[in-house]
Chains A and B, each alone.
Chain A
Amino acid sequence: MIGNSDLAQTFWEHGKAADCPIYDMHGHMGPYHSIYFPRAEPADMVRTMDEAGVRLLIFSHHSALNSPNLANQPSIAAVRAFPDRLRAYCMVNPNYPEQMARDLDAFDSLFPDVYVGFKFLSDYHQIPLTDEAYRPAWEVADRRGLLVLAHTWGGSQYDGEAVVRKVAERYPNVKFLLGHSCHGAWDAAIALANDFPNIYLELTAIFDDRGGIETFVRGAGSDRMLFGTDLPWFDPHQAIGVLLNAGITDEDRHNICHRNAERLLRPIVPGVVGD
């Protein structure tokens, strides 16, 4: 067994724990050009979620990320098919301001039944988070206190720690989820979490960097960390195994797996988020 706590024993034996549901705050869906996915369709992903005790996945479809032709339609369809298990981030691509305007216009009609906030992918769209083109979406999110999951990567000119700091100063009401936690810039990510109470460290990809979990728990606190897997990229059981193996407490594991997410989501999707 990979840990010595009661929680570890339950997860190890059963693959999930009823008293520790998981909210996966960073997912995707559908095929992607540079990787083979065995389980990328909604029903397959929900089965994976069932096996690992993932109560809710918040995602942005790969087509929404990279095809302005399809935009958010595949995400919307998937949430409509699994309304108790899925919510989506409204993906905006600032390379297409006319499409972004349509996405923002449609947002109200899809919130909160489909959307919980926005997803930004600056490194891939090659427009910094601070760019004027993002401003309409940031302002909607800030005015309404929405979740924004932004891909962030250490040192990036588009979404690295310095860029994140600038937008965090501008939009203090956004619930700002740092996707990948400025990967590699560990100290800077901790400093951001300590300096901005609305910033959360999302752990996709951190689960494969031994020491990252303990470093964040020590520096920022487990009440600022969120479970994420990029599903269908990464097996949630791998992430769970890391949490059980890491040198942290069961209280930390509860915070990371569900308590922090419940605090963020309960005002938005109370019927889906358990007490």
Chain B
Amino acid sequence: MRFFDCNAFFGLPAKRPLAPVADVAALLAEMDRAGLERALVWHIAQHDVAPQTGNAMLAEAIAPYSRLYGCWTVLPNQAHEFPPPSLLFKQMREARVVGLRIFPSSHRYLANAVSMGELFEAMVAARVPLFVSVHRGMAWRDVYDLLAEFPELTCVICDHGVWGEDRMFRPLLERYPNVHVDTAQYLLDGGIEALVSDYGASRVLFGSGFPESYFGGMMMAIKHARIPQEAKEMIAFRNLERIIEEAWL
């Protein structure tokens, strides 16, 4: 069974974790050990240092490896810290970067139309996916506010937590057709099956939360979920492939 991870990072965090993954070589070794085919990755420096610094580190690191896709981090652009969306998207295409991440509470801004309307409108138009983590850098209330202003945004909500945050993300799945959730930390017994039953397999993406979580945990959970093989493959890799293909980068 093939797996394409939508939620993994590498690089050394400022605060040392239990099992750091220093560089792309270590990441690839762990992917091989787990039998993981491809991954959409980001560099922890995008969060801990600065998006510009981490984005450059990411692009350089993944360039030689076609099984790795990048996810850059962006900021509000009133201070002209980033190029305009059209140029940003061109740079993404050249670097095999297929999605964007934001950490508004960590990076001290509000992810809304006032702050980032131009970029989010361009992302909606080009169907560029936004990845947000409710474990790192964005609160549920901010996710709700963002989607209320940009209801067509392709958004993947990651790391939603081991306490089974269904009451938080199910309203968003019901209201916004382009919202998805990943599986990192979604350890809930029967949770995947319930989501597939209520919303279809197209709304769930395999995400590991690596290196803070093991690749193998949710791979095993998906492989043995009580859902059809076709649904397993959608979650394991096809949904992320589709989202990347739909983006007009």
Contacts and interface: CB of A to CB of B under 8 A. Distances in A.
A234 B34 contact: no
Contacts of B212: 209-210
A237 B194 CA distance: 16
B218 A36 contact: no
A245 B18 contact: no
Contacts of A215: 18
B221 A238 contact: yes
B214 A210 contact: yes
Interface size class of A (residues with CB under 8 A): 35 or more
A251 B66 CA distance: 37
A182 to B, nearest CB: 14
Interface stretch (A37-45, A62-70, A130-138): A37-45
A186 interface: yes
B18 A37 contact: no
Interface in B204-244: 209-221, 223-226
Given A12-B220, A210-B19, A245 B213 contact: no
Interface size class of B (residues with CB under 8 A): 35 or more
B35 A211 contact: no
B189 A244 contact: no
Interface string A2-35: 1100000001100100000000000000000011
B63 interface: no
A239 B217 contact: yes
Nearest to B21: A210
A1 interface: yes
Nearest to A39: B190
Q: Of A15, A35, A38, A229, which is in contact with the most chain B CB atoms at under 10 Å from its CB?
A: A38
B187 A241 contact: no
Return the 9 tightest CB-CB contacts between A and B, nearest first: A241-B220, A245-B216, A211-B19, A211-B18, A38-B190, A2-B216, A39-B190, A241-B216, A234-B187
